[in-house]
Amino acid sequence: MAELSSAQGGILRIAKGVVHPMELPAWAQGRIFTKALRDRDGGLWVAAADFGLLHFRDGGVDSFTSTEALSGDHVLGLFEDREGNVWVSTSQGLDRFRPMAGALYSRHDGVTGRAASILAARDGSVWASTSTAVYRIDEGRVSSIRQSRSATLFEDRRGRIWMASQYDFGYMEAGQFVAAPGVPRGTIDGMAEDSQGTMWIAHRGSGLLRLRPDGSVERTPWATLRDRGRVSTMTVDPADDSLWIGLWSGDVINVQDGKVRSFFALREPDSRGVTQIRFDRDGAAWIGSRAGLTRIHRGRVTKFGRDSGLPCDGAHWTLADERFVSIYTPCGLVLVDRSEMDAWSAAADQGAGMKVKARVLDHWDGVGQPSNVSAVGQIESVQLFTPKATNSRDGRIWVVTGDGFVAVDPLRIPTNDKPPPVHVEQITSDGKSYEAREGLKLPPLQRNVEIDYTGLSLAVPERIQFRYKLEGRDADWQEAGNRRQAFYTDLSPGPYRFRVMAANASGVWNYEGDTLNFSIAPAYYQTLWFYALCAFVALVTLLALHRLRLRQVSGHIRGRLEARLAERERIARDLHDTLLQGIQGLILRFQAAADRIPPDVPARALMEKSLDRADKLLTESRDKVKDLRPSASDVRTLEEALAIEGAQFAELQPAAFLINAQGAFQALHPIVHEEALLIAREALGNAFRHARAVNIEAEVTYGEEALQIRVRDDGLGIGSEVLDSGRPGHFGLIGMRERAHKLGAQLTVWSKPGAGTEVELRVPAAVAYPLKSRAPTGLVRWMVALRTTLMRR
């Protein structure tokens, strides 16, 4: 176990009784350190009594003063929070230090100028080009190799590092820069090497150059290659040594032996500026552009963009190793597990879609935008120096940013495992704010409701992600990003439960989150009793309309019946007053004439016989006129008439016959009495003559709503075809239905073979019973009472 102590002149480390002086920067030597903090990662933070702060980590030391990011030189206190952030209070402010995914190499490490390109060599070194020099980085140590303007870097098969700037072109060998012979000065937009060791050079002014291993140079003018614009990138297909050239226009051409073999144009919007062409281990070509990534494999072209999991459009550079596929985009470095990308590729080959899980490292993780790329991605306006990203032998990913070069170890990305606390702060409804308390009741008719919530993560508060759900309104969780408000309009009255959860920058969710139960009071017309009242009024209205319509129909039918009855009475009167009276007079006159003929005259006997026939005709005519009168039977009630009919039928066909009446007797309209009797008599006749029944029953019910007549038997029953259309040559059922239709009544016949038959006639009360015989109800009773009172006065 080691101990540290501050002494005059420095810091001592004591381990197993042995004292080791700590190596300090120049400004810290000779100072006395009074404050110290050991963080969770084992790092040591030490503050001098009057000036500066030191951080000992991994065998190295970082120093911070007012000229190196510290807000003030006098440190007042040190503190580490629950998420691993180290807070430093100084005389001038409060500073926060937190673990970052990216380690920046910039002017503090001796790298000057604007970063241009980065290349990892096979020997483990990393080469970096800036606007002022070319640097070599070995195990964290930065060495300046040569003074040079921004250059494109490339390593050939022999391990030589080629450098192409606007002013020179050559390679580093044995620590010396060797200019390439035969290559004219000028801008070089790309380099590539085939399997034979031949260098291909895209020279903007001279065309496509082929630099052979023996030093000879062959030139192919751009005009012969269907020049469609300036070259932006170039690579060799490992399968056939052909050359793939990307253009600023978004076109890609394939060249072999100096001739164009194929041509491909990116069809996506804003696909100008092909940034890179990379071949994967399965032979697929990945083409990066402003629009994203395009994959070409076995003739199938697939877009890898936002729909596939890319967080933004545009791909500056891509890398692939056994663990990750790295995509350097305008919104940061995107890491995708190789297994995820292989699964996406397999789905793409089958024509299917898939969305991968991606980890994004952006400026909050210490990874910024690439150098020479504006905020809007107008990369074609500047010289593109490549590569923009590279994989070093130790597994780190190096990228070019505007501030320098950033190295990221994908296996050691800091992770915050502390879920952020979540809290609902307040509700603002129609401009009025309410404290977020349990059981909050909002007034009726709330149109705009805003719910404010927050989450606490001091590491990267800008990257907290929220999702919320309003139970009673939302069917599923709503992804809010880093927005801290939920908005709702026109919420219905009733109870609600608002739930919100949050995740920190590492994607660790607080699933418990926070909840708030509140309710919105209903307006009077939104209450259940109001709905019930409306339903009741609607029901009463429908019933009233139904009764009104029923009365209209019944009145129409009664009018027709009254017309029929009046017409019959008129015909009876006319026959009685004209024909019968005339016949009676003629008979009397002929009788007088016959009386004057002597008895022994043969004409007297003939006259007597004629008068007898005339009397018989007169009697029959009177019977017919009698039938036209309202009384269609000589009995008083319908059930009595049916009893007589049943008794007469029983004499012809023996069967047990029973008739009964239900309800208080009410006089029937004469036409209804007659038609109902005829329909019931036909039903009884069918039961006695055809059913072979043992028991036959008739029932008359004087109901409040309708007159019902049922005739039932236990006979053979009737087939469905006969029920529908009647027996051929017989019109009993058809006649019954016609009579019921004329009455406005409902005739129903139930029967099955072997199960007997039941015939029911239902005549509405408004048709069956005369108005004077029905008990007045409701408005009718009131009108009758009013009329009686007025008459008494």
pLDDT in tens, 475-525: 999 999 999 999 999 899 999 999 999 999 888 999 999 999 999 999 888
Q: How confident is the model at residue 245 (pLDDT cuts 50, 70, 90)?
A: very high
Q: What are phi and psi of 153, to 5 degrees?
A: -110, 145
**Domain made up of 638-773: CATH architecture:** 2-Layer Sandwich (3.30)
Instruction: Please tell me the least confidently modeled range out of 81-85, 281-285, 668-672, 677-681.
Output: 668-672
The helix/strand/coil state of 318 is strand
What is the CB neighbour count within 10 angstroms for residue 341?
Answer: 20
- Show Cβ contacts of residue 649 under 8 Å, excluding neighbours closer than 6 positions: 657, 684, 685, 688, 689
pLDDT in tens, 293-316: 999 998 888 999 888 999 888 888
Homologous superfamily of domain range 422-526: Immunoglobulins (2.60.40.10)
Order of strands across the sheet with 115-120? Answer: 115-120, 126-130, 133-138, 141-147
Distance CA 626, CA 496 (A): 81
Average pLDDT over residues 330-337: 92
Q: How confident is the model at residue 731 (pLDDT cuts 50, 70, 90)?
A: low
Does the pLDDT of residue 627 top 50, yes or no?
Answer: yes
Q: According to DSSP H, which parts of 283-367 are helical?
A: 338-349
**Amino acid, res. 569:** E
Residue 790 has what pLDDT?
A: 46
- H helices, E strands: number in the chain: 10, 52
Does the pLDDT of residue 7 top 60, yes or no?
Answer: no
Its CATH class, for the domain covering 188-265, is mainly beta
Does the pLDDT of residue 68 top 50, yes or no?
Answer: yes
Instruction: Please tell me the least confidently modeled range out of 130-134, 398-402, 428-432, 647-651.
Output: 647-651
Phi-psi domain of 113 (left: phi exceeds 0; alpha: psi -120 through 50; beta: other): left
Average pLDDT over residues 218-227: 82
**SS (HEC) of 405-439:** EEEECCCCCCCCCCCCCEEEEEEEECCEEEECCCC
| Peptide bond just before 522 cis, omega within 30 deg | no
Residue 236 has what pLDDT?
A: 94
pLDDT in tens, 135-176: 999 988 899 999 988 899 999 999 999 999 888 899 998 889
Distance CA 481, CA 434 (A): 24
CA atoms in the 13 A half-sphere facing the CB of 105: 25
Average pLDDT over residues 763-778: 65
CA-CA-CA-CA dihedral for 443, 444, 446, 449, to nearest 10: 40
pLDDT in tens, 188-203: 999 999 999 999 999 9
CA 369, 356, 100, 97 torsion: positive or negative? Answer: positive
Alpha carbon 764 to its chain centroid, in Å, reads 54
pLDDT in tens, 346-384: 999 988 889 999 999 988 888 877 654 443 344 443 347
Residue percentage of the chain with pLDDT more than 90: 36
**Would the pTM of this model clear 0.75, i.e. be above it?**
no
Q: How confident is the model at residue 267 (pLDDT cuts 50, 70, 90)?
A: low
Does the domain at 2-99 match CATH 2.20.25? Answer given as yes
Average pLDDT over residues 766-789: 55
Instruction: Please tell me the least confidently modeled range out of 496-500, 547-551, 594-598, 780-784.
Output: 780-784
CB-based contact 154:193 (threshold 8 Å): yes
Alpha carbon 348 to its chain centroid, in Å, reads 25
Q: What mean pLDDT, rounded, does the chain reach? A: 83
Between 758 and 551, where is the model more confident? 758
Does the pLDDT of residue 543 top 60, yes or no?
Answer: yes
Average pLDDT over residues 414-422: 92
Between 793 and 97, where is the model more confident? 97
Number of residues that make up the chain: 793
Q: Which residue has the tokens 């990011």?
A: 69
Instruction: Please tell me the least confidently modeled range out of 6-15, 133-142, 251-260, 294-303.
Output: 6-15
Residue 90 has what pLDDT?
A: 92
Does the pLDDT of residue 289 top 60, yes or no?
Answer: yes
Residue 8 has what pLDDT?
A: 54
Average pLDDT over residues 535-548: 89
**Amino acid, res. 556:** H
Does the pLDDT of residue 27 top 60, yes or no?
Answer: yes
CB-based contact 325:65 (threshold 8 Å): no
pLDDT in tens, 573-594: 556 556 656 676 677 777 777 7
Residue 382 has what pLDDT?
A: 38
CA 91, 96, 99, 102 torsion: positive or negative? Answer: negative
Distance CA 119, CA 110 (A): 18
Residue 612 to residues 292, 591, 597, 606, 609: CA-CA distances in angstroms?
A: 122, 10, 16, 10, 5
Instruction: Please tell me the least confidently modeled range out of 77-86, 341-350, 625-634, 706-715.
Output: 625-634
pLDDT in tens, 502-514: 999 888 999 999 9
Residue percentage of the chain with pLDDT more than 70: 86
